[in-house]
Amino acid sequence: MPRPCSFQPIQAQCVADGTHTPTRKNKTGKALPHRPRCAISTPMLSHRAYVILTFTAAVAFAVGPFAVSFDGFDPNAYPIPQDRPPAQPAGYAFSIWGVIYLWLLASTGFGLFARPDDPEWIPTRPPLFISLTIGAIWLPVAELSPIWATILIWVMLISALIALLKTPVKDRWLLRAPIGLYAGWLTAASSVSVALLGAGYGILFGQIIWAVIAIALAFTIAMNIITTRKSPGTYAFAVAWALVAVIVQNLSSAPLIAALAGLGAVAVAGLFIYVNRTATVR
């Protein structure tokens, strides 16, 4: 007589979903006992992986400037050399990266050790991981190709904005604020990259018009993010910081661009205050 097969039980979790289950019957038509609908439980590992991956990406992102010395796009990397482009902020403005790197390291490190399973942190990690991973390779790409650098920085921006809009209210200074500063600076930097590419390749307009386009583009993105009421003051600050640096860059050489950048900075700050005047940022 053959030995009966033995099976290991599969762990299952019954789900009481409130739906009607049709009565089951055997071959004789007799009703069989009702069994609750069950779902096989599987361990949730994906969000734990993102905890580690996001922190690792933040470390790689912060180490990048030490591995690659990047002082801005080479003016001769474009068919039309971009010497002192009016769309680009003054050099001192780029010091904001030091704060961004350190704050993102603190944020992802805190998330790794103190909030690994927090359900409100989980949605922010995949898009932030994408943005920081691309950011880790952006500097060497920027040295080789302004076109690819422009494409990548827009992917960084979009994923950073998605992460920002998914941030919760709690732990604001350790999650929403640093991502806001990062996304705000990327809003300005992405717009500048478009202006440099357009002027550098002689697409329709010269440097001045492309600088105007960059300011308008940065303001439009900032306006849409600020009006969600999910952007912290650090987001508006980073955009305004970049626009003020554009004023400094063009005060004597391109007064029109300086004036537009000034209007943009005031508008961003004013819009943030107006939107949040009666409601706390969610």
Instruction: With respect to residue 203, please indicate whether it lies within any of the assigned structural domains.
Output: yes
Q: How confident is the model at residue 40 (pLDDT cuts 50, 70, 90)?
A: very low
Residue 120 has pLDDT above 90, yes or no: yes
Give the pLDDT confidence score for residue 230 in this predicted structure: 83
Give the pLDDT confidence score for residue 34 in this predicted structure: 53
What does the buried/exposed string (b/e) look like for 20-34 if buried means 16 or more CB atoms within 10 Å of the residue's CB?
eeeeeeeeeeeeeee
Mean pLDDT of 203-208: 92
Q: How confident is the model at residue 281 (pLDDT cuts 50, 70, 90)?
A: very low
Instruction: With respect to residue 13, please indicate whether it lies within any of the assigned structural domains.
Output: no
Instruction: With respect to residue 8, please indicate whether it lies within any of the assigned structural domains.
Output: no
Instruction: With respect to residue 110, please indicate whether it lies within any of the assigned structural domains.
Output: yes
Give the pLDDT confidence score for residue 46 in this predicted structure: 82
Q: Please state the pTM of the whole predicted model.
A: 0.82
pLDDT tens figures, 217-264: 999 999 999 999 888 999 999 999 999 999 999 998 899 999 999 999
Instruction: With respect to residue 143, please indicate whether it lies within any of the assigned structural domains.
Output: yes
For residue 190, which of 149, 223, 227, 129 has the smallest C-alpha distance? 149
Residue 282 has pLDDT above 70, yes or no: no
Instruction: With respect to residue 245, please indicate whether it lies within any of the assigned structural domains.
Output: yes
Domain that holds residue 71: 46-275
Instruction: With respect to residue 154, please indicate whether it lies within any of the assigned structural domains.
Output: yes
Mean pLDDT of 22-37: 55
pLDDT tens figures, 154-164: 999 999 999 99
- In the DSSP assignment, the letter for residue 39 is E
Q: How confident is the model at residue 74 (pLDDT cuts 50, 70, 90)?
A: confident
Q: Within a 13 Å sphere around the CA of 27, how many CA atoms are in the beta-carbon half?
A: 0
Mean pLDDT of 171-188: 96
Give the number of domains in the chain. Answer: 1
Q: How confident is the model at residue 53 (pLDDT cuts 50, 70, 90)?
A: very high
Give the pLDDT confidence score for residue 29 in this predicted structure: 61
Mean pLDDT of 142-157: 95
Task: Look at the block and give the residue holding tokens 């492309």.
Answer: 210
Residue 271 has pLDDT above 70, yes or no: yes
Instruction: Compute φ and ψ for 39, nearest 5 degrees.
Output: -125, 135
Q: Where are the alpha helices (DSSP H) in the chain?
A: 46-67, 96-114, 125-144, 146-165, 176-200, 207-226, 233-250, 255-275
Give the pLDDT confidence score for residue 9 in this predicted structure: 41
Give the pLDDT confidence score for residue 152 in this predicted structure: 97
Q: How confident is the model at residue 68 (pLDDT cuts 50, 70, 90)?
A: confident
Residue 41 has pLDDT above 60, yes or no: no
Mean pLDDT of 86-102: 94
Q: Residue 40: which H helix or E strand, with range?
A: strand 38-40
Mean pLDDT of 270-282: 77
CB 57 within 8 A of CB 178: no
Give the pLDDT confidence score for residue 76 in this predicted structure: 87
